[in-house]
Amino acid sequence: MITIIQRVTQASVRVDNKIIGDIRQGILALVAVEKNDTHTHVERLFERMINYRIFADDNDKMNWSLRDIEGGLLLVPQFTLAANTHKGNRPSFASAAPPEYGREMFAYLQEHAIKNYQYVQFGEFGADMQVALINDGPVTFTLTVSGG
């Protein structure tokens, strides 16, 4: 699994001109499922997202996690993160999960997130989404979890 996490002061996602997810201070996470990902990968990635220390403490050091600040988490599916862009002028999506498996794994991520974190919102798998954010810093990281 691959995710881009961005520390935000606010973020939202719209589908058909309706806001379906909206957070204030927290993390916007763009999430790609790869074809060999499992529930264990989903759980590990989720734990990394909410415990990754990217928020400033009282000394302005990145020592606090999303869980520490009780910030919002906006999870948005984005299969294009799984693209291989190493050669040519067109991305290859050979490592991306097939659509139905990606949908299943993102649904599992949603279920797991709801059970384990209070402040979570979601984008919609397969939808044409418009994502808006104010990146705080900017602070952006790529997190990956794989079966190796």
Domain range summary for the chain, segments of one domain joined by +? 2-144
Proportion of the chain in helix, strand, coil states, percent, rounded to 5: 25, 40, 30
Is 106 among the catalytic positions?
no
Is 80 among the catalytic positions?
yes
Tell me what pLDDT residue 146 has. Answer: 80
Is 125 among the catalytic positions?
no
pLDDT tens digits for 22-64?
Answer: 999 999 999 999 999 999 999 999 999 999 999 999 999 999 9
- 15, β-bridge pairs: 18, 129
3-class DSSP assignment, residue 127: coil
User: pTM for this structure?
Assistant: 0.94
Domain 2-144 has CATH 3.50.80.10: yes
Identify the active-site residue in 6, 25, 78, 121: 78
Identify the active-site residue in 9, 38, 80, 130: 80
